[in-house]
Amino acid sequence: MANPQNIIFDFGGVLLNLDFNRTYTAFQQLGFSNFENMFTQYTANDLFKKLETGLVSPDEFYRELISAHPKVSKEEIEEAWNAMLLDYRLPSLEYLKKLAQHHRLYLLSNTNAIHYDVFTKRLQEETGISSPDVFFTKAYYSHLIHLRKPDKEIFEFVLKDAGINASDTLFIDDSYNNIEAASALGIRVHLLIPGETIESLPYFTSS
C-alpha cells in the first residue's frame, strides 16, 4: 500500500488504552445484570447511542440509569462508566508528531461528554498537553458532531468536512464493524489488533 496522504485515527484502543471488562464488571456490581445488552465495544442501546451523539446530557444519562436502579448514585455510575479508561499510549502519541510532518492526521472517536472530560484531564496529567486535538489537523468527536461509527454518515461527514478523498485516506480502528463501514465507502482501512501499535504499521512516512 502506498503512503496515504491522510490518516484518520480512532482514539480508544488506538491511542488510549481501554478495558471494557472493567466497566462491565463495575456495572454488574451495581446491579446492572444485563449491562452487556446495553453497551459493548461493538453495540449500544438507544440511551448510550444518544449519549455518544450528544442527544442526551450526562445528567439525563445518569437520571435514566438511576430510574432503573434507584439505589445507585450518580457518582457510582460515573465511576463505573469511566472505569474502562486507562492510560495513554505515549510512544504512539510521540509517533503522531513524526507522522504529522508527512501526512494530514485526523481523529474520529465515538465518545461522550463524560469520557471526554476524563481523558482530556488524564492527558494533561500524563503529558502536560491540553487536549488530544493538538496532534491532529482536526478532531471529530461523536458527541459534538451528533454522528457515530459505524454509521456511514459519520465517515461521509469527515471526508466532506476535511476536504479529503476516500482513496487517499487510511482509517485505523480497533473495532471490526467500524472498519467494515469505512471500507464500504472506499476508505483504506486497518484493523488494529490487540498488541499492535501504530508505530509498527507499514503504511507511513515518518522520518
Q: Give DSSP secondary structure letters for 135-163.
A: GSSEEEEHHHHT--TTSHHHHHHHHHHHT
Give yes or no: residues 122 and 171 share one domain: yes
Find the mean pLDDT for residues 47-71.
Answer: 97
Give yes or no: residues 146 and 118 share one domain: yes
User: Has residue 177 been placed in a domain?
Assistant: yes
User: Has residue 207 been placed in a domain?
Assistant: no
Per-residue DSSP letter, 18: E
Give the pLDDT of residue 206: 53
- Within 8 A by CB and 6+ apart from 126, the residues are 87, 88, 90
Tell me the three cell numbers of residue 81: 462508566
| Low-confidence winner among 86-95, 110-119, 198-207 (lowest mean pLDDT) | 198-207
C-alpha separations of 188 from 31, 85, 166, 194 in Å: 42, 28, 7, 20
| Domain, as residue range, for 133 | 6-17+87-198
User: Has residue 1 been placed in a domain?
Assistant: no
Rg from Cα positions in the chain: 17
- Within 8 A by CB and 6+ apart from 118, the residues are 82, 85
pLDDT band, very low/low/confident/very high, at 203 (cuts 50, 70, 90): confident
Give the pLDDT of residue 202: 84
CA distance 31 to 52: 23
Are the beta carbons of 160 and 149 closer than 8 angstroms? no
* pLDDT tens-digit readout, 69-79: 999 999 999 99
Tell me which residue of 122, 111, 134 sits closest to 49, measured CA to CA.
111
Are the beta carbons of 174 and 17 closer than 8 angstroms? no
* pLDDT tens-digit readout, 105-117: 999 999 999 999 9
C-alpha separations of 59 from 95, 98, 101 in Å: 37, 40, 41
Residue that finishes a domain, picked among 37, 67, 82: 82
pLDDT band, very low/low/confident/very high, at 205 (cuts 50, 70, 90): low
Give yes or no: residues 106 and 73 share one domain: no
CA distance 191 to 13: 11
Tell me which residue of 98, 132, 101, 129 sits closest to 116, measured CA to CA.
132
* Mean pLDDT for the chain overall: 95
Find the mean pLDDT for residues 5-31.
Answer: 97
Q: Where are the alpha helices (DSSP H) in the chain?
A: 20-29, 35-38, 46-52, 58-68, 74-82, 90-99, 113-127, 142-145, 152-162, 176-183
